[in-house]
């Protein structure tokens, strides 16, 4: 019985996070009504408050869990893996509603919302690790500052994502990420690395 209760609690929590992600993705934080989320999840207010005290709590859970569900490389390995990672993320933006909702919550400037800089810092650190691996493999130009460059990449990625969403509902996001790399790679990687790296929108489909 205790085990059944526990399983049900896990399912309820997951249904709430899924429903919240779908609603935040469609309406943003301030436009997402708690009632809509509860209806979608098929959960009562009482059952929700056992897991989440507020819409802010739910939004925080979406942000934390979207990252946990991604299939990310275990070890940093340099420029090719960094490129692959940005294309994989472009594909996730197209097909994974929790990831999409987490990004929207981070980008939207909601009043009294949950917005903070943590998500950008987390990705900046991931990118920096790949750049450090690239440095160890002698793939980087001499004067590249790994932390600064990682931040520039996160910023460029964020803006590309936003524009692709507004113009095509993200249909062209992988192609736009390819274009971004076209102009950024020569300022980051050595010419021999630039000529070796594959930047292909098809990489957004496979993982």
The residues binding its own copies (CB under 8 A) are: 27-28, 30-31, 104, 107-112, 115-117, 120, 141, 144, 148-149, 151-152, 154-163, 165-167, 176, 179-180, 182-188
How far apart are the two ends of the chain, measured CA to CA in Å?
39
Buried b (16+ CB within 10 A) or exposed e, 55-81: bebbbebbbebbeeeeeeeeebbbbbb
- Please identify, using beta-carbon distances, which residue of 74 and 111 lies nearer to its own copies: 111
- CA–CA distance, 140 with 130 (Å, rounded to integer): 11
Q: Phi and psi (nearest 5°) for 27?
A: -120, 0
Q: 70 or 107: whose CB is closer to its own copies?
A: 107
Of 136 and 147, the one with the shorter C-beta distance to its own copies is 147
d(CA 28, CA 199): 32
Q: Which is nearer to its own copies, 7 or 145 (CB)?
A: 145
How many helices and strands (H and E) does the chain possess?
Answer: 10, 0
Minimum distance, C-beta of residue 16 to its own copies, in the bound complex (Å): 21
């Amino acid at each position: 019985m205790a085990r059944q209760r526990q399983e049900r609690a896990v399912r309820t929590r997951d249904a709430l996070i899924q429903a919240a992600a779908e609603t935040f993705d469609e309406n943003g934080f301030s436009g997402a009504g708690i009632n809509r989320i509860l209806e979608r999840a098929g959960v009562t207010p009482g059952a929700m408050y056992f897991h989440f005290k507020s819409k802010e709590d739910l939004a925080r859970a979406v942000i934390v869990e979207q990252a946990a569900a991604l299939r990310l490389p275990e070890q940093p390995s340099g420029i090719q893996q960094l490129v692959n990672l940005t294309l994989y993320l472009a594909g996730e933006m197209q097909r994974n509603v929790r990831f999409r909702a987490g990004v929207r919550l981070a980008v939207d400037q909601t009043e009294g919302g949950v917005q903070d800089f943590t998500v950008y810092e987390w990705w900046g650190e991931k990118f920096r690790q790949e750049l450090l691996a690239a440095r160890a493999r002698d793939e980087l130009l001499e004067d590249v500052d790994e932390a600064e460059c990682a931040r520039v990449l996160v910023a460029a990625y964020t803006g590309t994502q936003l524009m692709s969403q507004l113009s095509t509902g993200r249909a062209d996001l992988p192609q736009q990420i390819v274009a971004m790399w076209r102009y950024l790679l020569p300022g980051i990687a050595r010419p021999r690395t630039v000529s070796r790296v594959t930047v292909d929108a098809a990489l957004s489909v496979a993982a």
